[in-house]
Chains A and B, each alone.
Chain A
Amino acid sequence: MSAATYDVVIVGSGIVGAACAAECAREGMRVAVADQEMVGGGATAAGMGHIVVMDDSEAQFALTRYSQQLWQGLRSELPDDVEYEQCGTIWVAADDEEMDEVRRKQSYYSRRQVPVEVLSARDLERLEPNLRKGLAGGLLVPEDGVLYPPCAARFLMERAQAHGASLDLGVRVEEIGKGRVRLRNGAEFRAGTIVNAAGAWSPALTPGIDVKKRKGHLVITDRYPGFVGHQLVELGYLKSAHSSATDSVAFNVQPRRTGQVLIGSSRQYGVESKEVDHAILSRMLERAQAYMPALEHKSAIRVWTGFRAATPDKLPLIGPWPQDSTLYLATGHEGLGITTSLATARLLVDQLTGRRSAIPVEPYLPSRSSTLEHAHA
């Protein structure tokens, strides 16, 4: 029996794998995608769908901004159920120290041509009356937005399929490398290039990748139209979300088109179980209520969890794996995979076709000076 042969076989049909499939197929490559479950069923379904420009590092800024612009360019083609809304982010400052951070952020974004607006305490109260009184202010980033990630992944995968890509769901990939993708059921694909886009599961297929599972919880409420208007994120998030050693929670709420309120966020390393962890869930909801006291009377209808694929330097791995010339990585997007999926696909295809990229690719190459060294620098 001869194995099916493709130019590119992508393992993983989360939003990153789907975006890569769409971009490769559009380029005329023969593409196959394999996933152990469904399209967009892993971290994609557990992400808020916040399309956000970040400024942790120059490389993180470049990737998130580039990708946000790609989303904006795609906007008119997105089906209604992707629920893309350019609602803007408000980074909420609780005190004067966090207002200093607002001004630092304002200057950083402004110098890079990202429109922002500093909000006084009064502005914040007017824009988001359900936030508690006495907050210091905030930073509005109007071009940030939200979308519904599972439908966005499905849309990208359908684009890939429209360009001839084949999709195999419910198949467990056992082994990848040296141009071969072997499935548990014994079937095999041959590929000029294999892309490991398996997110939190990517290290199981490519031992040696420095990607760890980072568990998160989300809660969604019943419909309360108008309760919140922007994606609201506490600036303390910068301290809590990135203190990588311990479990953390942060205030992060999002308006959905349905009027529902999506509430995050939690971060935990070293947990394998998908079960809801009531202790950290309580902390997360207490944090949310500390910022929005009226959440207390809202009814939550569902709680779920997922695993981010986290790297030590908080940048994804996009490019060739040095130990195997047929293997590329598109993983390690942590909490930014929805935002950065489109740019990831572009950078990947640029590398496969030898094209120059719109932004420097070096910061995301898997070969970058050991990511551990980076984290300690």
Chain B
Amino acid sequence: MPELLTVTVNGRSVAVRAGATVAAAMMIAACDCRKSVSGEPRGPLCGMGICFECRAMIDGIPHRRSCQIVCVSGMEIRTDE
């Protein structure tokens, strides 16, 4: 059995496998990572930290690249608006 941990995405609890990225947790929760300046939904594109499309608010800090950050139990993740 792989180890599971729990994070919250936009206030909702989501269980992910240990080692999952924040981007993965947001996909499981079916949430956009952020809204663009013109209000369009954005999510992971390159998945390797280059394109900055997957920025999200993690533990109160905006504009963090969700594809590069591994989930930690209790992490609070929000769509960056």
For residue A304, CB closer than 8 A to chain B, the reply is no
Q: Report the minimum CB–CB distance from A371 to chain B (whole Å).
A: 46
- Using Cβ atoms and an 8 Å threshold, which residues of chain A touch B52? 301
- Using Cβ atoms and an 8 Å threshold, which residues of chain B touch A243? none
For residue A95, CB closer than 8 A to chain B, the reply is no
- Using Cβ atoms and an 8 Å threshold, which residues of chain B touch A223? 37, 63
For residue B62, CB closer than 8 A to chain A, the reply is yes
Partner of A297, one of B37, B55, B61: B61
- Using Cβ atoms and an 8 Å threshold, which residues of chain B touch A301? 52
Closest B residue by C-beta to A221: B63
* Alpha-carbon distance between A246 and B14 when the two chains are bound, in angstroms: 55
Number of B interface residues in the complex (CB < 8 A)? 7
Q: Report the minimum CB–CB distance from A267 to chain B (whole Å).
A: 29
Number of A interface residues in the complex (CB < 8 A)? 7
* Alpha-carbon distance between A305 and B64 when the two chains are bound, in angstroms: 26
For residue A224, CB closer than 8 A to chain B, the reply is yes
* Alpha-carbon distance between A298 and B60 when the two chains are bound, in angstroms: 12
- Using Cβ atoms and an 8 Å threshold, which residues of chain B touch A297? 61
* Alpha-carbon distance between A223 and B34 when the two chains are bound, in angstroms: 13
For residue A357, CB closer than 8 A to chain B, the reply is no
For residue A299, CB closer than 8 A to chain B, the reply is yes
* Alpha-carbon distance between A224 and B57 when the two chains are bound, in angstroms: 12
* Alpha-carbon distance between A165 and B61 when the two chains are bound, in angstroms: 50
* Alpha-carbon distance between A224 and B64 when the two chains are bound, in angstroms: 12
- Per the 8 Å Cβ criterion, residues 185-235 of A in contact with B are 222-224
* Alpha-carbon distance between A307 and B62 when the two chains are bound, in angstroms: 33
* Alpha-carbon distance between A315 and B52 when the two chains are bound, in angstroms: 43
Q: Mark A291-325, 1 if CB is under 8 A from B, else 0.
A: 00000011101000000000000000000000000
New A-B contacts (9) at CB < 8 Å, excluding given A223-B37, A299-B64, A301-B52: A222-B55, A222-B62, A222-B63, A223-B63, A224-B62, A224-B63, A297-B61, A298-B63, A299-B63
